[in-house]
Amino acid sequence: MKIAVFSTKAYDREYFERFNNDPGLEFTFFETALHGHTANLASGFAVVCAFVNDKVDAYTIEILSRIGVKLIALRCAGFNNVDIEAAKKNNVKVVRVPAYSPEAVAEHAVALILTLNRKTHKAYNRIREGNFSLNRLIGFNLHGKTVGVIGTGKIGASFCSIIKGFGCKVLANDTFPSKDLIDLGIQYSPLDEVFEKADIISLHCPLTPETKHIIDANSLARMKDGIMIINTSRGALINTADIIQGLIDRKVGYLGIDVYEQEENLFYKDLSESIIQDDLILRLISFPNVLITAHQAYFTKEAMEQITTTTLNNISDFKEGKNLKNEVV
């Protein structure tokens, strides 16, 4: 069975080639992203393997179906970039990786908090330049702070456990509260209460019509002055223009993001010799209290292995006509 892998980097190819033990799976790797203008590259392939910023909309799916693609294998957990209804209509199945080392993303969220707070990235650069001053490097104790967690799936639950270990009070919000987290001492609260009481808010919910721009001018107005906001989930959970205004007004004291609304035009690319055309990301980069990483929260050896092996198993199950336990329905 032939599989076209889109948005491929060297590390993707390395892991697929290392863990593929099925001689019946033949991979072709494309560096280009999957979208309507590149879908025809999958001609002659039964499966396409897509990533978070590939645009698998109705138009793309219609092309894929017409050229014989029967399965879209996502090597990620989120599927907001896929038109599931269009896939059903065209009889194209969609599978995903529902969980892969949730600790990887949760730990990265904590790293963003600690770095923003204690300014270790700035201290590192100062020391390299022979500047040993502590001016403007003051932080605050995490112990005793109230941390709001929006979304307590596997990643959010892992984050709750870690941040509680710092001695923080955790206020969580989720449609389906976790008994295990309640037993751990996590308090579930209405969203308004989380906004009003938290010193730090970390986003771990999926992107849905209900959660899009969950952080906007209205929600920011209900938060404490100087709020720290962390997003390692999906970029569109935050209204970028509103968060910039919040930074200008000093309502937002710290912003740490591993995702961005328009990241598909930027992330995973070396643009160091290019003129970046995105005015909003340039504005964000200009703030001294903003820390941006390029969708690397998942990027650990353990997570890469789990993503790869689950994707391979999903494709093998499809090839052998087995039940697709990770199918998006």
Catalytic residue list = 234, 263, 295
Are 7 and 34 contacting, i.e. CB atoms less than 8 angstroms apart? yes
Are 96 and 315 contacting, i.e. CB atoms less than 8 angstroms apart? no
DSSP 8-state symbol, 22: -
Contacts with 84 (C-beta within 8 Å, 6 or more apart), sequence order: 94, 328, 329
Instruction: Report how far apart, in Å, the C-alpha atoms of 19 and of each of 64, 312, 326 are.
Output: 26, 8, 19
DSSP 8-state symbol, 146: E
| Six token digits for residue 38 | 């590149």
Please report where in the chains the tokens 């491929």 appear, as a residue. Answer: 8
Instruction: Report how far apart, in Å, the C-alpha atoms of 175 and of each of 34, 119, 200, 206 are.
Output: 33, 34, 20, 12
Give me the long-range contacts of 177-186 (CB less than 8 A, separation at least 24).
177/152, 178/152, 181/152, 181/157, 184/160, 186/149, 186/152, 186/160
